[in-house]
Structure 1
Amino acid sequence: MQAAPFSAVQSAVQSAIHLYMQQHPELASVSPQWQPMAGGSSNRLYSSVADSLVLRVNAAPEQVPGVDRRREADVLAQLQGQPWAPWVLHCAVQPSAADDHGWLLTRWHGESPVSELTRAQRAQLRDAVAAWQALELDVEGQEKSMAMDYDALLAGYGAQLVGLPMERALQQLVVRAARELALLPEIPRVLTHHDLHPGNLCLNEDTLVVVDWEYAALGCAWFDAAALIQRCGMKAEDIAALPAFATIDATQLADGLMRARWLCEALECLWYWARGLAGTDRKMADLMRDTLRLFKQPELTAED
C-alpha cells in the first residue's frame, strides 16, 4: 500500500488491512493504489479503482451519533448476495488500537448518479426497498439488538446538546420529535436504511447498489419513505406499494409522510448540533435557519 494518502490514518489500521489482504488468496497479490474519495462528513473514504476496492476508515463514535458498528456489521452480513447491497469483503468492528474505530472494505460499485434519478433507477430503488422491507432478518444470537431505539437516540442527542448556546430551544426540538414519532401511524418494524439519498446510491453497469448502511436497523420505515419522496423523486403512490405500508389507508399515509418529513429534517438538524460542524460542508447560518424553520412549522395533533 502507498502510505501517502493515509497520513491521517493510524498505522494500526493500515497494518490490519494489509494483514487481512495477505490472508486472503484473492487479495494477496493486490497492491492497492489508495486515493482519497470525496463525500462523507465523518468517515474517511479511499478507493483503488483499478482493483475495484473501496475502504472506509470509521470515524470516532462522537462524530457519528446514532451509529452502531456491531449492528451495521450484522445487517451487512445478512444482506450479502442481494443485487442492491454492497459486496463486503471485511467489516472490522473491534479496534486494534486506541484511536482505531474499525474499517470496512468493499468492492467498488460505481459512481453515484450525477443528476436526478431516471424512471428506471427509481423503479430499481423502489424494488430494492420493497425487498429489504420484506426480509426476515435473523435476530437470534446477535451480539447487540438489531432494532433502533429511537428513545435512546433522542436522549443521546439531548445529552450532547447540554451547554450549547441554543440548548433550551434545541431540547424543545428533541421533545417535539419524540411526540411526532409517537404519533406516526403504526406500521410493522422492518429493515430501515435511515440515510437514503442519491449520494448513497451507486450505479454498477446500470444496476443500482445502495451503500452506507451504518445507520441501518430494524426500525420505522416512515424515515425511508420520507427520504424516497424528498430526495429520490418518488411519489406517495410509490410508498403505498411498499410492504411496510400495506395496511394503512390514504389518509394515514398522507399524515405519516407529513410527520416523517418533519422528523427527518429535525433529526438531521439535531445530528449536526450534536456532533458539531467540523469536517462537514454545513454552514452555521444554514443550520440556524433550518432549525428555526422547524420551530415555525405548526405541530399537528392526533386528530389532524
Structure 2
Amino acid sequence: MSPRLAAALATCGAWAIDPRPAGEPRVLRPLPGGESNESWLLAWGDTRLVLRLDGLDPATPGLDRAEEVTLQGAAAAVGLAPQPRFGGADFLVSDYVGDDPAEDGAGPDPADAVARARLLRAIHALQVPARRLAPAAYLAACEARAGAVPPALPALARVHCAALAAPGDAPVLCHNDLTAANCLRHRGRLLAIDWEYAALGSRWLDLARAAGDSAAAVAAYLQRTPTRAERSALAAARALLPYLDALWYALHGRAGTVDWPAVTRALETADD
C-alpha cells in the first residue's frame, strides 16, 4: 500500500458515514479508468466506497478540489451523482456505485450521447452557488503554463469564446467533463462522477463535450431543435474543445501527443 493511500485511509474517522461501520476500511482492488487520478474500491463493513487519489497539481487551472465536494454533494442530493463522504487535500471518498446491468438493472448506457445530454440538462438545472469559470480566462491561465503553443491559436480561440453566448444565455452549473468515462449506470439511472472541474460556465461547451456531434443529443438536451444562434454557439464550442484538450495535455507534460495541425484546422473551419 502506498504512503498516500495509507494516509488517506487514516482519516476515516472524519468520513461522513452514519452509522459508522465496524472495524476499519479495507482496500479491495484498484478501479480502472482515469487519465490522471487513481481510484480504489474499499469495503468498510457492508459499505462499499471509492477512494480517489488525485494525480494533478491542485494549482492546475480550472481545478477546485474543495468545491468539488460541495457540488457533487448537491448533485447527489437529487440523484445525479454518488454521495461524497470526505474530501481531503489530495483525495476524495464517495459511495461506490456499480455499472453492471445485472446488478443495477437496465438503464441508460453511458456511451449513449442522448442519455448523457439528458443527464447534463438535469445538472444545468441545479441552482447551486459556485465559482465562475469563464472560458477566455481559463484559456489564458492554461496558455500561460502550457509552454509552446502555435502562435496563431490563442487569437483564433478567443473569437470562438466570444461566439459561445447565445441570446438570453446565463452561466449554468457545468460538469465540464461529462464523457462516457465519467458516467455510471446505477439502478436505472445515469450518474456523473469526477466533478473536479465543475463550476458555473458555458452550457454550450459542456453540451459539446457530452453530445459530441449527435444532433439527437442536442435535441434531447434542448427538448426542441436548436435555433440558429444556438447552433452557432454550439459550433464555437465544438471548435474550442480540441484546443482545450491540447492545452490540458501540454499542461501535464504530454504536448508531444498533441496534433497541433488538427487543432488549428478545428479552430479555422468551425461553422454551424
Q: Does 1:266 align with 2:243?
A: yes
Task: Give distance in 1, aligned partners of 2:268 and 2:251.
Answer: 23
Does structure 1 retain, via aligned residues, the 8 Å contact 2:64–2:196?
Answer: yes
- Say which SS state the counterpart of residue 26 (structure 1) adopts: coil
Please, which runs of 5 or more residues in structure 2 have no aligned partner? 102-107
Q: In 1, are the aligned partners of 2:171 and 2:203 still within 8 Å (CA)?
A: yes
TM-fit CA distance, 1:296: 2.4
Structure 1 residues 239 and 29, CA gap change in structure 2 (3 angstroms): same
Report whether the alignment pairs 1:42 with 2:36: yes
Corresponding residue for residue 105 of structure 1: 93
RMSD: 3.3
1:288 is aligned to 258
Match of 2:144 in 1: 159
Q: Deviations over 1:82-130 (max 9, x none)?
A: 11222111222xxxxxxxx4221111111389xxx65996665444322
Say how many residue pairs are matched: 262
Contact 2:38 2:52 in 1 (8 A): yes
Contact 1:76 1:213 in 2 (8 A): yes
Distance 1:26 1:69, change over 3 A: same
Structure 2 CA distance, aligned partners of 1:198 and 1:209?
11
The CA distance in 1 between the partners of 2:42 and 2:8, in whole Å, is 17
Identify which of 72, 75, 78 aligns with 2:71. Answer: 75
Q: TM-score, normalised by structure 1?
A: 0.73
Secondary structure at 2:212 match in 1: helix
> Whole-Å Cα distance in 2 between the matches of residues 211 and 191 of structure 1?
15
Output the CA distance in 2 between the equivalents of 1:19 and 1:119.
34
SS of residue in 1 equivalent to 2:10: helix
Gaps of 5+ in 1: 1-5, 93-100, 140-144, 278-282
> Residue 252 in 1 paired to residue 237 in 2?
no
Query: Match of 1:3?
Result: none
Asked whether 1:90 is paired with 2:86, we answer yes
Give the 3 Å change call, closer, same or farther, for CA 226–122 of structure 1 in structure 2.
Answer: closer
| 1:49-60 aligned within 5 A | 51-60=47-56
The 1:263–1:229 alpha-carbon spacing in structure 2 relative to 1, beyond 3 Å, is: same
Q: Say whether 1:9 aligns with 2:4.
A: yes
CA distance 1:288–1:60, shift in 2 (3 Å): closer
Matched, 1:202 2:184: yes
Q: Secondary structure in 2 aligned to 1:55? A: strand
| CA deviations over 1:122-149 (Å, ceiling 9, x no partner) | 6654443222222221x3xxxxx52113
* CA drift at 1:288: 3.4
Q: TM-score, normalised by structure 2?
A: 0.81
| Same amino acid, percent of matched pairs | 24
Tell me whether 1:66 sits opposite 2:50 in the alignment. Answer: no
